[in-house]
């Protein structure tokens, strides 16, 4: 980015790319949600634990709140270089938005896992055991992704200092 002719152009280009990625992610979520509402037969192509409308709504809400928190943190701390009281206010806002997102994660967990386990309990032990195995696999995948993101964020933060 240092090779660009105008010093702030790299910063502007990065902001445009992050914003475009955010818009694209929201577009994909909205498009998928509307597609599944208009054509319920597409739900057959999803794994069983993804067939919950409440779970998908919670996942979309959590992703939206996470995007809002990321943009607020990026704009407040990185772009405007908030320090002192301003940085504390930005971080409190980010924590508040992430708390709202956590409620959506709970809704997604309820829709994808809890309700599915309750419905499978009436279908017998084999179905419940297969579903529990899938839930464990999904949980391990989510934990692995979160650990990888935390590692990337740590490395990114260390290299910027």
Which of 4-13, 18-27, 115-124 has the largest mean confidence? Answer: 18-27
The answer, yes or no, to whether residue 47 has pLDDT greater than 60, is no
C-alpha pair distances (Å), 147 with each of 6, 32, 140, 152: 37, 27, 10, 9
Nearest CA among 131, 130, 138 for reference residue 117: 131
Q: pLDDT, tens digit, for every residue of 82-132?
A: 888 888 888 889 889 888 888 888 888 887 777 776 776 667 777 777 777
User: Would you list the DSSP string of 31-88?
Assistant: HHHHHHHH-GGGGGGS-GGG--HHHHHHHHHHHHHHHHHHHHHIIIIIIS---THHHH
């Amino acid at each position: 980015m240092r090779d660009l002719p105008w010093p702030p152009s790299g910063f502007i280009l990065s902001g445009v790319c992050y914003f475009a990625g955010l818009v694209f992610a929201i577009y994909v979520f909205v498009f998928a949600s509307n597609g599944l509402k208009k054509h319920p037969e597409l739900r057959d192509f999803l794994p069983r634990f993804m067939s919950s409308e409440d779970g998908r709504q919670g996942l979309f809400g959590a992703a939206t709140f996470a995007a809002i928190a990321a943009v607020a943190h990026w704009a407040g701390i990185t772009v405007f270089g908030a320090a002192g009281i301003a940085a504390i206010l930005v971080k409190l806002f980010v924590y508040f938005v992430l708390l709202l997102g956590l409620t959506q994660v709970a809704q997604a967990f309820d829709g994808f896992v809890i309700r599915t386990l309750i419905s499978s309990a009436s279908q017998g032990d084999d179905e419940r055991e297969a579903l529990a195995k899938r839930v464990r696999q999904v949980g391990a995948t989510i934990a692995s992704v979160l650990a990888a993101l935390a590692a990337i964020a740590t490395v990114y933060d260390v290299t910027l200092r």
